[in-house]
């Protein structure tokens, strides 16, 4: 996956300007301390974009220096592991500072007691200052603890700063830290707000300052570095894992790949730039189609606006994983198209109109949104990789279906793989419709179930299935049989009438509470014998409510008892649901009342 992207777009990401063109500052407070003793402050808030326009030059100043000062991810933070116990409470500075050079100090307000109401993670100012000491100590010692880093040092030794140059700004940065605390403590910042301190310095020195950290942190670890073909090779740090020193390439069980890999220092520099671009431009946007011909230039067309019908694309799903891009899904589509054969959904139930059921489109993403809305309360897309159960306010049964089956919808909607959904359609749709029915019955309604059932029927027709349901056909047959003018001739009609009879009998139940125990014996019967026995038991149980000599009911029940079922009851459960949801033949019209009175 990485080399597919690398080979396609290498020429763009060898130049850092591509990254800077699309780079943006995260929300936070940015302070520039100038050499003349003054300072400038910029508060970046995406909800207040006008601030960026008003301070454009300052924003650009911070942006480029932020890029050269950012850590790779939290696991690659400069070591600041200073601990101190005060009055019995232990304070730690581990991973509290997130910048990478002597000109910057990046941290969050929650890390400093005077800036945070929540004292759980915060440390006193004097402890934080000792963490700054450790920060500078680590900047000096980077690359000096392992013989495996000597080969990297050879690549950059003429371009990095000396230990004396690094330590020169320590006292100044500590002083600016204390001043920053005084400046921002009355700003009413939200928790987790970035505070970033910059010392005024030319851009070349910023680049030089970041070089040492960057080169020594590019690989996952430097323990297995080797020199081959005039280049340094190490463990890949992007979308790959690393186990331990003894078995660095053992099979991985929790990733989409089986083994890690080694990558050259030349390649991983380009890969890092590519992953920064992915983080800033694609992460959090769901599935993205990246055209193979995309050129990444500042003045070029935005990739999301390019018409890629019939063109080769990369299909990407990228998340922000602890501050770095993580490609969760990747595919190459040689002839991409969002068009499908027309998908039509309508209401198949008699005398019921539900506008939400009407859908007609040949666009796969419009269909995806429709399915997400009707079946999954608009959370389907977020469930492909990580359904946030705390935010997804949906019934547990929907969460369980998504946990087990979301990958089937992923394959259908984003990889043009129809086979999995076609094969599993009846199982998935039955679980959705039946659970919807259980929820609806408790609230004395059926609209959600009807919407779900209509989508099931539409998918069956789309896949060329045999779920035959015309709006009037079943009711017409049911009325003929009820009037003793016909008989059951097929399984579909038989199970439809089972649904009609069971619905009518359940209506006669005078209980205020309609529970799952009333429906399970009918909908989930494992054999026809059990199904018929349940119907007869219900008839006997509610016989006190049934009209005496009600011929309609008697005629249909007689046909049910006489009919010899040919097919599998499990495969025909959908017709029981249809019979349950459709207009009920026993809910009499005016002309029928005379028969009951007689």
pLDDT band at 591 (very low <50, low <70, confident <90, very high): very low
Do both 322 and 362 map to the same domain?
no
Cβ–Cβ < 8 Å for 270, 13:
yes
Q: Which of helix, strand or coil describes residue 228?
A: strand
| Structural domain contains residue 567 | yes
pLDDT at 598: 36
Average pLDDT over residues 208-221: 91
| Structural domain contains residue 14 | no
CA dist 207 to 92, 160, 162, 269, Å? Answer: 30, 9, 14, 14
CB atoms closer than 10 angstroms to residue 306: 15
User: In which residue are the tokens 């019967």 written?
Assistant: 525
Cα–Cα distance measured from residue 142 to residue 213, given in angstroms and rounded to the nearest whole number: 7
**Tens-digit pLDDT profile for residues 421-471:** 999 999 999 999 999 988 888 777 888 999 999 999 999 999 988 776 555
Q: Is the pLDDT confidence value at 123 over 50?
A: yes
Closest CA to 539 of 566, 523, 560, 524: 560
Going by the DSSP 8-state scheme, the letter that residue 488 receives in this structure is -
Cβ–Cβ < 8 Å for 291, 303:
yes
Do both 448 and 522 map to the same domain?
no
pLDDT at 593: 42
Cα–Cα distance measured from residue 82 to residue 510, given in angstroms and rounded to the nearest whole number: 71
Do both 382 and 325 map to the same domain?
no
Instruction: Tell which of 441, 462, 483 closes a domain.
Output: 462
Closest CA to 223 of 253, 203, 240, 243: 243
Domain count, the chain: 3
CA dist 254 to 1, 248, 251, 283, 334, Å? Answer: 17, 15, 10, 21, 29
Cβ–Cβ < 8 Å for 218, 211:
no
pLDDT at 248: 53
Least trusted range by pLDDT, from 9-18, 240-249, 360-369, 378-387:
240-249
User: In which residue are the tokens 């899904």 written?
Assistant: 329
**Tens-digit pLDDT profile for residues 380-428:** 988 887 776 545 688 889 999 999 999 999 999 988 889 999 999 999 9
Top pLDDT among 141 and 483 is at 141
Do both 567 and 519 map to the same domain?
yes
Do both 326 and 355 map to the same domain?
no
Least trusted range by pLDDT, from 160-169, 272-281, 475-484:
475-484
Helical segments of 416-542, H only: 419-442, 447-462, 473-482, 491-507, 516-523, 528-541
Cβ–Cβ < 8 Å for 503, 579:
yes
Cβ–Cβ < 8 Å for 74, 95:
yes
**Tens-digit pLDDT profile for residues 48-103:** 544 444 457 899 999 999 999 999 888 889 999 999 999 889 999 999 999 999 99
| Structural domain contains residue 162 | no
Angle, CA of 290, 295 and 298, to the nearest 5°: 110
Do both 517 and 481 map to the same domain?
yes
Q: Containing domain of residue 281, as a range?
A: 265-333
**Tens-digit pLDDT profile for residues 229-251:** 889 988 888 866 555 555 555 55
Q: Which residues pair with 86 in a beta bridge?
A: 89
Residue 280: HSE in the Cβ half-sphere, 13 Å Cα cutoff: 18
Q: Which of helix, strand or coil describes residue 364?
A: helix
Do both 378 and 493 map to the same domain?
no
Cα–Cα distance measured from residue 561 to residue 488, given in angstroms and rounded to the nearest whole number: 10
| Structural domain contains residue 455 | yes
Q: Which of helix, strand or coil describes residue 433?
A: helix
pLDDT at 42: 94
pLDDT at 389: 54
User: In which residue are the tokens 């946007």 written?
Assistant: 285
Cα–Cα distance measured from residue 135 to residue 127, given in angstroms and rounded to the nearest whole number: 12
Cα–Cα distance measured from residue 508 to residue 498, given in angstroms and rounded to the nearest whole number: 16
Give the range with max mean pLDDT: 138-152, 194-208, 570-584. 194-208
Instruction: Kindly report whether the global pTM for this prediction surpasses the value 0.75.
Output: no
| Structural domain contains residue 96 | no
Do both 587 and 481 map to the same domain?
yes
pLDDT at 590: 46
Going by the DSSP 8-state scheme, the letter that residue 333 receives in this structure is E
| Structural domain contains residue 25 | no
Angle, CA of 584, 590 and 593, to the nearest 5°: 85
Q: Which residues pair with 195 in a beta bridge?
A: 29, 107
Do both 457 and 343 map to the same domain?
yes
| Structural domain contains residue 240 | no
| Structural domain contains residue 120 | no
Cα–Cα distance measured from residue 402 to residue 157, given in angstroms and rounded to the nearest whole number: 53
**Tens-digit pLDDT profile for residues 467-525:** 765 555 777 888 888 888 888 888 888 998 988 888 888 877 766 555 566 778 888 78
Instruction: Tell which of 416, 432, 462 closes a domain.
Output: 462
Instruction: Tell which of 333, 360, 391 closes a domain.
Output: 333
Closest CA to 597 of 549, 536, 541: 549
Do both 276 and 386 map to the same domain?
no
Do both 590 and 490 map to the same domain?
yes
Q: What is the DSSP string of 138-166?
A: HHHHTT-S-GGGHHHHHHHTTTSPPHHHH
Do both 296 and 369 map to the same domain?
no
């Amino acid at each position: 996956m990485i080399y597919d992207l690398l080979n396609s777009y290498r020429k763009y990401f060898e130049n850092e300007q591509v990254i800077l063109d699309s780079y943006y500052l995260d929300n936070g407070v940015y302070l520039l301390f100038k050499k003349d003793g003054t300072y400038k402050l910029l508060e970046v808030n995406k909800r207040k974009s006008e601030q960026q326009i008003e301070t454009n030059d300052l924003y650009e100043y911070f942006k480029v220096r932020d890029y050269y000062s950012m850590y790779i991810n939290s696991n690659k933070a400069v070591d600041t592991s200073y601990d101190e116990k005060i009055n019995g409470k232990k304070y730690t500075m581990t991973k509290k500072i997130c910048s990478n050079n002597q000109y910057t100090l990046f941290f969050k307000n929650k890390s400093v007691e005077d800036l945070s109401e929540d004292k759980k993670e915060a440390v006193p100012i004097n402890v934080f200052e000792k963490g700054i000491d450790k920060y500078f100590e680590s900047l000096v010692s980077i690359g000096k603890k392992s013989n495996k880093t000597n080969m990297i040092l050879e690549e950059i030794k003429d371009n990095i700063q000396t230990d004396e140059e690094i330590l020169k700004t320590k006292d100044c940065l500590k002083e600016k830290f204390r001043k920053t605390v005084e400046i921002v403590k009355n700003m009413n910042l939200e928790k987790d707000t970035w505070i970033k301190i910059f010392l005024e310095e030319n851009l070349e020195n910023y680049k030089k300052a970041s070089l040492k950290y960057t080169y020594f942190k590019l690989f996952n670890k430097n323990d297995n570095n080797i020199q081959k073909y005039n280049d340094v090779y190490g463990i890949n740090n992007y979308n790959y894992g690393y186990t331990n020193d003894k078995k660095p390439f053992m099979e991985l069980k929790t990733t989409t790949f089986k083994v890690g890999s080694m990558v050259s220092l030349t390649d991983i520099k380009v890969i890092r730039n590519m992953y920064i671009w992915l983080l800033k431009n694609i992460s959090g946007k769901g599935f993205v189609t990246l055209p193979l011909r995309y050129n990444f230039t500042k003045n070029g067309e935005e990739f999301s606006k390019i018409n890629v019908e019939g063109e080769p694309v990369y299909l990407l799903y990228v998340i922000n994983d602890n501050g770095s891009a993580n490609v969760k899904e990747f595919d190459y589509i040689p002839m991409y198209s969002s068009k499908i054969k027309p998908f039509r959904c309508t209401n198949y139930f008699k005398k019921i109109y539900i506008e939400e059921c009407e859908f007609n489109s040949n666009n796969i993403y419009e269909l995806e949104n429709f399915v997400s809305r009707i079946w999954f309360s608009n959370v389907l897309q977020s469930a492909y990789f990580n359904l946030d159960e705390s935010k997804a306010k949906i019934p547990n049964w929907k969460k369980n279906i998504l946990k087990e089956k979301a990958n089937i919808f992923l394959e259908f909607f984003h990889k043009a793989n129809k086979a999995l959904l076609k094969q599993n359609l009846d199982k998935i749709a039955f679980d959705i419709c039946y659970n919807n029915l259980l929820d609806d019955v408790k609230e004395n309604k059926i609209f959600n179930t009807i919407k779900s059932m209509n989508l099931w029927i539409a998918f069956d027709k789309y896949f060329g299935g045999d779920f035959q349901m015309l709006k009037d056909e079943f009711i017409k047959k049911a009325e003929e049989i009820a009037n003793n003018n016909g008989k059951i001739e097929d399984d579909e009609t038989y199970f439809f009438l089972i649904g009609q009879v069971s619905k009518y009998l359940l209506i006669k139940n005078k209980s205020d509470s309609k529970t799952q125990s009333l429906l399970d014996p009918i909908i989930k019967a494992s054999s026809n014998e059990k199904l018929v026995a349940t119907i007869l038991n219900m008839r006997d149980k509610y016989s006190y409510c049934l009209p005496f000599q009600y011929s309609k009911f008697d005629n249909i029940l007689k046909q049910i008892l006489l009919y010899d079922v040919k097919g599998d009851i499990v495969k025909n459960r959908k017709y029981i649901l249809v019979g349950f949801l459709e207009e009920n033949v026993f809910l009499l019209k005016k002309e029928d009342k005379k028969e009951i009175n007689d």
